[in-house]
């Protein structure tokens, strides 16, 4: 086994979150009236940027998560995204920032490295 190779795949997680953000942006923009699509897109992008910055301030995810814990995290993120889309569509276009904020936080968390938990974790001797 190669040293320094982590168990998780942060790039794959970032790609999944990126696709989730693209779908969320498409859904938010499709359901906006024609005159409100520009402000909604700007608010979504602003929420995405603020969410990514907010994720940088959160603590790093702990290492050593089981497959079921990771699957539960993905399911919870999908539910949160669906609820944020409902909230984003409730008050047009001003709440379009909510799905962007959530997708930014999820993307930032996916790109962060796992916290080292001592010897034997994350390729440590």
Q: How many domains does the chain have?
A: 1
- Asked, for residue 84, whether it belongs to a domain, the answer is yes
For 104-122, how does the pLDDT look when each residue is reduced to its tens digit (9 = 90+)?
888 887 777 554 444 444 4
- Asked, for residue 119, whether it belongs to a domain, the answer is no
44 pLDDT above the threshold of 70: yes
* Domain with 20 in it: 10-111
pTM for the predicted model, two decimal places: 0.71
- Asked, for residue 4, whether it belongs to a domain, the answer is no
- Asked, for residue 80, whether it belongs to a domain, the answer is yes
HSE (side-chain half, CA atoms, 13 Å) at 63: 16
For 60-100, how does the pLDDT look when each residue is reduced to its tens digit (9 = 90+)?
767 777 878 877 877 888 888 888 888 877 777 778 888 88
Per DSSP, 62 falls in state B
């Amino acid at each position: 086994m190669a040293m320094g190779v982590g168990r998780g795949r942060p790039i794959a997680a970032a790609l999944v979150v990126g696709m989730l953000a693209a779908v969320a942006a498409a859904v938010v923009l499709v359901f906006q009236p024609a005159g409100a699509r520009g402000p909604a897109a700007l608010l979504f992008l602003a929420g995405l940027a603020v969410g990514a910055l907010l994720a940088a301030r959160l603590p790093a995810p702990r290492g050593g998560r089981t497959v079921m814990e990771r699957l539960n995290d993905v399911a919870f993120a999908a539910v949160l995204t669906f609820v944020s889309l409902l909230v984003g569509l409730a008050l047009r276009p001003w709440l379009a920032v909510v799905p962007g904020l959530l997708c930014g936080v999820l993307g930032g968390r996916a790109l962060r490295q796992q916290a080292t938990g001592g010897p034997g974790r994350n390729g440590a001797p």
